[in-house]
Amino acid sequence: MQHRVLPVLVFIVTAVACATNPVTGKRELSLMSEEQEIQIGREQDAQVRKEMGVYSDEELQRYLSDIGVRLSRVSERPELPWHYTVVDSPAINAFALPGGYIYITRGIMPFLDNEAELAGVLGHETGHVTARHASQQYSRSTSAGLGLLLGSIFVPQARPFASLGESGLGVLMLKYGRDDEAQADALGVKYASIAGWDPAGVPAMLMTLGRIEEASDNKGVPNWLQTHPAAEDRVQRVQAAVRDAEKGADRFITDRDGYLKRITGLVYGDNPDQGVVRNGSFLHAGLRFAIKFPIGWDVNNGQTQVVAKQAGENALILLQEVQRPVGRTIQDIALRSMEGAGFRALDGGRTTINGLDAFIGTYQGSVQDFGRVTVRAAHIVHDRAIFLLAGIASQPIYERVEPAFTKSLNSFRPLTRGEAESIHPNRIDLYTAREGDTWQAIAEHQGKGVVKASTLAIMNGHPVNEQPRVGERLKIVVAG
Which residues form the interface with Zn ion (CB under 5 A)?
Answer: 153, 181, 184
**CA pair distance 189, 192, nearest whole angstrom:** 5
In the complex with Zn ion, the residue whose CB is nearer, 75 or 320, is 75
How would you classify the pairing of strands 276-278 and 281-284? antiparallel
CB of 153 to Zn ion, least distance (A): 5
In the complex with Zn ion, the residue whose CB is nearer, 153 or 459, is 153
DSSP 257-308: HHHHHHHTT-EES--GGG-EEETTEEEETTTTEEEEPPTT-EEEE-SSEEEE
- In this structure, what are the phi and psi dihedrals at residue 252, rounded to the nearest 5 degrees? -125, 155
**CA pair distance 112, 266, nearest whole angstrom:** 13
CB of 127 to Zn ion, least distance (A): 8
In the complex with Zn ion, the residue whose CB is nearer, 130 or 310, is 130
CB of 473 to Zn ion, least distance (A): 29
In the complex with Zn ion, the residue whose CB is nearer, 117 or 181, is 181
User: Taking a C-beta distance cutoff of 8 angstroms, is the pair 426, 479 a contact?
Assistant: yes
Identify any residues that bridge with 155 across adjacent strands, giving them in sequence order: none
SS3 content of the chain, % helix, strand, coil (to 5): 40, 25, 40
In the complex with Zn ion, the residue whose CB is nearer, 154 or 293, is 154
CB of 278 to Zn ion, least distance (A): 34
In the complex with Zn ion, the residue whose CB is nearer, 184 or 409, is 184
**Shortest CA distance to 191 belongs to which of 252, 133, 135?**
252
CB of 133 to Zn ion, least distance (A): 8
CB of 385 to Zn ion, least distance (A): 37
In the complex with Zn ion, the residue whose CB is nearer, 104 or 443, is 104
First to last CA, the chain: 20
**CA pair distance 403, 410, nearest whole angstrom:** 11
How would you classify the pairing of strands 413-414 and 385-394? unpaired
In the complex with Zn ion, the residue whose CB is nearer, 68 or 391, is 68
User: Who contacts 258 (Cβ-Cβ below 8 Å, separation ≥6)?
Assistant: 115
In the complex with Zn ion, the residue whose CB is nearer, 184 or 267, is 184
User: Who contacts 396 (Cβ-Cβ below 8 Å, separation ≥6)?
Assistant: none
**CA pair distance 307, 221, nearest whole angstrom:** 11
In the complex with Zn ion, the residue whose CB is nearer, 98 or 425, is 98
CB of 171 to Zn ion, least distance (A): 17
At CA 380, angle to CA 159 and CA 298, rounded to 5?
35
**CA pair distance 83, 129, nearest whole angstrom:** 12
SS3 158: coil
CB of 137 to Zn ion, least distance (A): 10
In this structure, the number of other CB atoms found within 10 A of the CB of residue 35 comes to: 10
User: Taking a C-beta distance cutoff of 8 angstroms, is the pair 394, 369 a contact?
Assistant: no
CB of 13 to Zn ion, least distance (A): 22
Q: Dihedral of the CA atoms 120, 123, 125, 129 (nearest 10)?
A: -170
**CA pair distance 43, 314, nearest whole angstrom:** 39
CB of 333 to Zn ion, least distance (A): 42
In the complex with Zn ion, the residue whose CB is nearer, 130 or 426, is 130
CB of 10 to Zn ion, least distance (A): 24
**CA pair distance 215, 232, nearest whole angstrom:** 14
In the complex with Zn ion, the residue whose CB is nearer, 209 or 378, is 209
CB of 124 to Zn ion, least distance (A): 6
